[in-house]
A and B are shown apart, each in its own frame.
Chain A
Amino acid sequence: MATTEVRGLGHSVKRKEDERFIRGKGTYIDDIALPGMLHMELLRSPFAHARVVSIDTSRAEALPGVVAVVTGELMAQHNLAWMPTLSGDTQAVLATDKVRFQGQEVTAVVAESAYVAKDALELIEVDYEPLPAVTNPQQALQQDAPVIRDDKEDQTSNHIYHWEAGDKEATDRAFDEADKVVALDTHYPRCHPAPLECCGCVADVNPATSKATIYMTSQAPHVHRTLFALVTGLPEQNIRIVSPDIGGGFGNKVPIYPGYVVATAASLLLGRPVKWIEDRTGNLISTGFARDYHMHGELAVKDGRIVGLRASLAADEGAFYADAQPSKLRIGLFHIVTGSYDIPTAHVQGDGAYTNKAPGGVAYRCSFRVTEASYLIERLVDVAANELGVDPAEFRVQNFIKPDQFPYESATGFVYDSGDYEKALRLALEKLGYEDLRKEQAEAREQGKLIGIGLASFTEVVGAGHGKEYDIVGLRMFDSAELRVHPTGKAILKLGVKAQGQGHETTFAQIVAEELGIPYEDVEVQEGDTDNTPYGLGTYASRSTPVAGAATAVIARKLRDKARTIAAHLLEAAEDDLEWERGRFSVKGAPDRAKTIQDVAFAAYTDLPEGLEAGLEGVHYYDPPNMTFPFGSYAVVVEVDRGTGQWKVRRVVAVDDCGVRINPMIVEGQIMGGLTEGFGIAAMELITFDEEGNCIGSNFIDYLLPTSWETPPFELGETVTPSPHHPIGAKGVGESATVGSPAAYVNAVVDALAHAGVRNLEMPVTSDKVWQALQEAGLAE
């Protein structure tokens, strides 16, 4: 048997999935063409809030090439005009009574080509009666605000929920005893995951077979299958969701969007496949946005130590409460807001409000609102350091949770698995040359040049999660791995998660290589087809490695146990007398008496001990005992132009600790992607609205994404603090940089102006805002 070096954990092997992508042979949803396929386009509301008086589709229906025009009324006849959201609310599929945000889906045209469908959209006449629009939570929660969700019987205001965590009394006492209180009001603005591929589906309800195959951009195909069954009434065994290649997800492809439901209904009614691919405007104006939290934070400080934290927030939820997050958590994992700091008491509260905007909120690599929390604490800590006259790095170190405090129970009930925060920060400072930079900054200031240094030391929480606490619409958040080894020693691994660029086809094969000794090249990884894979909750919130990765390790180890039994049989030795060296069992003391895993695989089908079941396979559904807590320290250096307010990033140093790294190259790729998204969010990304609720930021001319020119280069470092409860010690890392970096960028720009009394800048930190601050501080050119 040829020996291939078995590369498991820690190897930066090249990705297997690249083979098709570099050839342009990926299969994204829009690449799929089925015989007889029709094309669907959506007509969207121009108004943020309006009564729908009438819809005349007659001219559209008469256009040659148009097969059907679907209205809310038609959907209502099939009980499909409304659908449940992932947060227990309802959302309009197609408008019936009112439209509640600009861009809301009103009608759909199904035609022989998308060009004709678009022609037909222009022929539909909708009579609207505009209503006053509500464009922020403060306005929404006022006494006289128009009630947006008057479709809901018991909804008499725009208030959705109130949620609390922590200990109010103890925290109030801590604040009473503090010698200083530092406060900050800040808005984490509405932004959007904007993956390069928009959302879409090809719905193929086949009348001959009764099988509904829905190819869709889905980060959670099994959940979507179950939801489709519940919403449409189609029997779940006849529904197959196929999510092939996805061109970026970042949380955008977790919710169920009206387009998917209408396309499926259309396919069912017409007996032909229906393709719906939204355009970029549809994506930005109607699909799950991210953030939009109005936050207030306070730190109680005594003798230089943080002794209490208060945080309150108003969440702008849009017209339907459709956050994609665990059902018991109204504001996600925001209560991680004590961050990396040993804060004895904290109180967190949040209120959600309806507004005339698209629904969403939990998206864009947020780890269920950890981005918002991390931003608040890292900005607060910097503000506090500044007010106390303490170096921001030292202030952090003084308040960090210490290594000997782990597992650490936080004031809001998290049990942090492991961490060494000071080590990561010191490494970042060393790589940066922090001391020298502070000197350079002071000298530059003398010459009228503004340099800023910004730090962020984040702890985030991923790997949802233990079934009792974490569920999506009741479905517990376990995940799964089904591993089958073939007679020729190759294997197939099927997962309940679904990558959108994270490299699972390679990294999960590496886990099998590590545990079972089968070369990763010989392990085929499959995800995304619900007919073919075990039930899972999908890929988002950095959960794949913590949960499905654990399931993979567990099942691989179970197969290794069975392999030992077979090997013992082949070697005519006792199981206890065998030694395992990745991929090979040998007899203790007689190393030449050995069988490879490939030998064992063959034997599993040909030569088994009496009574042992054939095959070498199994499935494991892993219920994580706890979350995992990746962390890191980032440092950003900027230069500010005093004449224009523009800032340029000179350096980014990022030290991450995600425990054991399966594939360092892939981990670094995730981090660099996140650092770029963090930069975009800090500098330029914004969806905003005028008073009438018109959306500004619904195309890439207005919604600005950093190009290779603006994006700085990154210097990466690592520390490794394994997770004690994870089978391979890994923690998940996909979102760390998006969580941790925005505060670092903002802290840097504020730091450049702090000597002149500037305390805060709101994101996106655009040049006009910086100029305004320069002007007020007497620093403008």
Chain B
Amino acid sequence: MAIPHALRQHELAHAGQATGVWSWITTVDHKRIGILYGVTAFVFFLIGGIEALLIRLQLARPLNTVISAETFNSLFTMHGTTMVFLAIMPLNSVFFNYLVPLMIGARDVAFPRLNALSYWIFLLGGLFLNASFLVGTPPNAGWFGYANLTTRQFSPGPEIDFWMLSLQVLGASSIMAGVNFIVTILNMRAPGMTLMRMPLFVWMTLVTQFLIVLAFPPVTVALIYLMFDRFFGTHFFDVAAGGDLHLWQHLFWIFGHPEVYILILPAFGIVSEVLPTFSRKPLFGAQIMVYSGILIGFFGFSVWSHHMFAAGMGPVADAFFSIATMIIAIPTGVKIFNWLATMWGGTLRATVPFHFAAGLVGLFTIGGLSGVMHASPPVDLQQTDSYFVVAHFHYVLIGGSLFGILAGATYWWPKITGRLLDERLGRLGFWIIFAGFNLTFFPQHYLGAIGMPRRIYTYNPGPGWGFWNFWSTVGAFAIGFGVFLFAVNALLSLRYGAPAGADPWDGRTLEWRTSSPPPPHDFDEIPPVYGRDSFWRDKYGDDRGRKPVPRPAAPDPHGVHLPSPSHWPIVVALGLLVAAAGALTSLAVVLIGAAVLVAGAFAFALEHHRTPAHVRQDGVLGVDHRKLAMWIFLGSECFLFGTLIATYLAYKGRSVVGPHPHEILNLPITTLSTFDLLMSSLLMVLALAAVQRGDRFQSRLWLGGTALFGLIFLGFQAYEFTTFVHEGLTLQTNLFGSTFFVLTGFHGGHVTLGVLWLLTLLVLDLRGRLGVQDALKVEVAGLYWHFVDVVWIAIFTLVYLLP
């Protein structure tokens, strides 16, 4: 009998049972990390909420003077940035972390230390962003920071630097977590859990994680361009030098639109769990719900310019994105109807989670329909940048995402804490939030229709906006009160709540099988899975009342082992934070941070080099976790380099001054360096083959050779860069200089990292610590190396060869 993939041959640890601050700092347990995300995100949510209340206070009356213009502009910027990146996304992460392993019958995620690293980077990134308040320069150009308002010329201070650096740091956290969860879901499912038997929440999580790993690279590149413009004098968003301000908008919204699906799909997944449980009926059309989620995710990449209908892209582009946006409404609408059908004819129980889930169905319908209105460019030209769109996105983000989060929080609260929330207090809180929310935002549709623009710190009484602004403010405070009641309920429950059993709701999915809260190892035995809603089947049998014949639970021959705690995640995160802070202070600080980051990363990577349990990490798909992770990461890198290359080509020929490519690119030399890099790939596969057959001499020869050829490539590049500078082409000279050096420079940076990686493997090999059992590590390094090579093939053709 095959050994279940979820087993890990780790040393027995007491990690999950320890208490004390250090145990929380070094935890790698997905449940604890989920709780950390929850507490941190909730605090940021409160901060974002206070920012909103201050905004509403200022807008309650015309020509109000409670908040100054500058402060107001920072408030709406921070409110948006905080709620999107520091509240909603990490609150969703609570459920990804805590529930996904439980729901698929795993004991943790694929990379527990990487998981911890994601959390610490999130915490420190969020603190860094909010530190801007402490120095009096909070970001103030909106959460989507349109260039060229954000360039040094129009925003000279550090406000935008805080914003830009924080987002890059937070993006790294999200991408790491994305890779982690994709590998977990694909590779660590319990026996019998095929993809189509996975709970909908896990499916929506899977789609969300793909969106994250693919959508973040474009905005990372946009932020890099902005950073280079602001710090190093490049011209990406310099109109006089030929820069195109639409480029920022395209790159931002290519991220930004999938981002809103990242925010909403988990909520959809939660509703798809909650409604069936409290209707005592299966999810109606579960397969269609899976497919519609996949379609929404995929088509989410085709609609981004509907945020730009006023930008002047021309009628053809407007028409294309209009149709694409309408198309995406179809799978979204299907979900609404399937949820309604789930409830129809069900034995309904009006618990608090049910209230929030049903509330989402109604409120998201309103938000979705106002979205359909926005999908028509003529209509959108009146509605966009007004309070109408503010109403739209708050309906989908609060009525959708937040209500989903609250449904999940109240639903899984007993599982996570072992206690029940008070139902009456919960229902009261729900109705106050519901009423307050609608009072705040429904009238904003009207305000937009009578012409109130968004992002204005005050307004004249003339257009008649005062009345509903006042009541909108009242509603906002009601929301605040409702959230307060939720917090009170939570605290009371932790102190005095009735103990919850393992299955207080008569649930349908695997997490209800284990105790509340689960033991550190999640399940005493990995439960076998016989179909969708497998726990329900175990309890009640299938549709014909037949209970499944239990398969003997797979034995754990070595007992249950847990991943060991580690302090390296927080060290690496601290290094990253210090480096980011250094960008605002001095180069020395950047270098210190980078040193800590690099040293920490080395220690992190080598921490378990000799741990037997880490040698083989095969999964359900028959692929090692790490190999799967690398391929997913390379998919993400396709988006990174795709963006860099697209920008180079889009800006080609637009430099206002020379030198121009044909005047300066050295084709013969570059052809040689290309040949060198291609041959290095050959050496790499020879190295891997040598390691795999245990040939110590050849493994060292070819690993060293690959690294050497990599260094030669870097040498060619250094020669090229210095020659260009001598001939008058720098980052700052013109658009060509900016795009060329950033594109090839980042590629060179990737090569450098690759060389470091190879040299590390070589050193390990020279010290006799790279054996046949480590072949997979060499294989994964090889995948990275070859990818860097194929990116160069693309760059060589598109930059050097094309006329």
User: Is B one of A's binding partners?
Assistant: no
Interface residues of A, Cβ cutoff 8 Å to B: none
